[in-house]
Structures are given as structure tokens and as C-alpha cells.
Amino acid sequence: MSESGYSYDDCKSTADWLLSRTDIRPLVAIVCGSGLGGLADMVKDPKTFKYSDIPNFPQSTVHGHAGQLVFGTLKGKQCVCMQGRFHLYEGYPVQKITLPMRIFKLMGVQAVILTNAAGGLNRDYKVGDVMLIKDHINMPGFAGTNPLAGPNDQRFGTRFPCMSNAYDRQLKQLAREVGDELGFGEFLREGVYCVLGGPSFETIAECHMLHRLGADAVGMSTVHEVIVAHHSGMRCFALSLISNLSVLDYDSQEKANHEEVLETGRLRAGQLQKLVSTMVSRLDLKDVHAA
């Protein structure tokens, strides 16, 4: 293993270790955010690996994140689900928290679907709304925290990747169409997600600033994973469950808290599972394993 633990050979070693222990050859990866781990429970004939058993894999330390990879089939598509992800606030380097994306790429994954729970900045949003992410603001990136910093391995992607198309427009359109068919149109939104480092929730002044910058929702995940997945050539779709509304009024007695995030996830979980699983059933993906 290299000194960093993030090299192409390290990722390939972990990918090969996983593939040697399951017959599933995933084309889709699903990242389950806070309170949304039930998506993985829909997988048929599951083969589960605890993060602690996977070579070179980080460990999830957050309540509400199970900390395991689940391989299986969802609506006829072979897939892998992350029940629990990794965050900057857990103390990991940004290259470590995005490592699974590169491992997925080397396992043959073509598309990544990411979910998260986020605070709503847009005043038109309500708790329980689902925001389809059309773009992001990488706030830590302004200070140099980018998962692509350091030496670039061309086997993953180019040195200077374009990010204006990071969120696949066809996948977003598919989500909109499926949502409308399922009768979810009234709580589906589309907007810009801003990532912060956490773990403290935002101050009122910070919420005002982010809203003025054009962010509709704010959270502590997803963006870094999307940067690495897009860099590696995988199609990305992401959505945010608006689990709380960010406080913008100094006279308000409201306070953001993690329990509210998990409870909102439980209330909306069934509908989100139906949305994502129906999307997966309609994905048109090229099976690289058959080539």
C-alpha cells in the first residue's frame, strides 16, 4: 500500500478484494444519507460488508449511518449501496472520505446516486421537501480543501475537470419525470446545495450569507463525492431531503438538531425509496463487465 493509501493501486486492490467476494458487478452506486439507509434494505439477495472489514476503507462514526456496503440487485440492476458515508468533521482527509467513489469506478460503476439531509435556506422550501441538486457551492474548496488536490493520476481523470456539468441533466430530468408520475411533484424542488465542513450547524449570519450567494440548501456532505465521481467519469445524480429550515431570524427560538434530521428522514423514507428505485429501473447503462 502507498504511504497515502489513496493511490490507483490502493483503490484497485480494494475493488478487487470486494469483487472477489461477491458475484454482483454493480453498474449503479447509491450513497444513503442521514436517516435514508433504508434504500439499501430494498436490495435483493444482499451481500453485506462492514466498513471495518474492507481493506483501506474509512469508518463511519455518525449516528444514523450503519457503516456497511450492500451489494445486490435493485429493480433488476446490479448495484452497491453505501449505508453511511464519511465527512470532513469526522477528522478524515478529504481524499479519504471520497475514496469509495474511486473504488466504485474501478468496480465498473457507471452512475452514482447520492442522497443527503440538508437545511433549507430557500424560504419557499418546507421541511420534508426533496431538492434535486442542479449545482453546488464547495465552500471548503474556497480555502483549498478539494479532494482532487495533490498529484493527479490520469487513469482516474484529467487534471482540471470541468464542473459545470457535474450533475447529470438527463438523470435529473428522469427524477423529475418519475417524481411527477408518482405524485411527488408537490414536494420536489430543484436548487443549489452548499457544503460546509461541520459539525456545528450554521450561524444565522452564515445562513444569510449562503442564501445571498445563491444556495438553496446547506449540508456537510455530497459535494466532495460528486467532484471525485465526476472526475472519474461516472454520471452523478444527487438529492437533498430538507430536514430542517435554517434559522434566519434572531428572534426565533428554533434550533437545528440531528434528531430532527433523522426523524424527517423516517417520515419521507418510503417515498424516497420509491423515487430512487424507480429511477434505477429506468437507467440506461452500458455494462462494462460484458465488454
Our answer to whether residue 117 is catalytic in this structure is yes
Question: Which amino acid is residue 30, in one-letter code?
Answer: I
The active-site residue out of 34, 116, 146, 232 is 34
Which of 232, 244, 246, 277 is catalytic? The answer is 244
Catalytic annotation on 190?
no
- Rounded to whole angstroms, the Cα distance separating 157 from 281 reads 28
Of residues 42, 220, 234, 279, which has the active-site annotation?
A: 220
User: Minimal CA–CA distance to 211: which of 192, 183, 237, 235?
Assistant: 192
CA distances from 111 to 20, 22, 77, 191, 204 (A): 21, 19, 12, 20, 36
- Of 90, 190, 206, 263, which residue is the catalytic one? 90
Q: Catalytic site residue 65?
A: yes
Cell 459545470 maps to which residue?
164
- Of the listed 65, 211, 230, 231, which one is catalytic? 65
Q: Is 136 a catalytic residue?
A: no
Residue 246 catalytic? no
89 flagged as catalytic: yes
Positions of E strands within the chain: 28-32, 44-50, 68-74, 77-83, 111-120, 130-138, 188-195, 217-219, 235-245
Q: Decide if 87 is catalytic.
A: yes
First to last CA, the chain: 29
Catalytic residue among 82, 117, 139, 166: 117
- Residue 34 annotated among the catalytic residues of the structure: yes
For 44, 73, 247, the CA distances from 117, given in Å and listed in that order, are 25, 25, 16
Catalytic residue among 7, 206, 258, 269: 258
Active site residue 258: yes
- The residue annotated as part of the active site, out of 82, 87, 211, 243, is 87
Nine-digit cell string for 248: 434566519
Q: Which residues are catalytic?
A: 34, 65, 87, 89-90, 117, 220-221, 244, 258
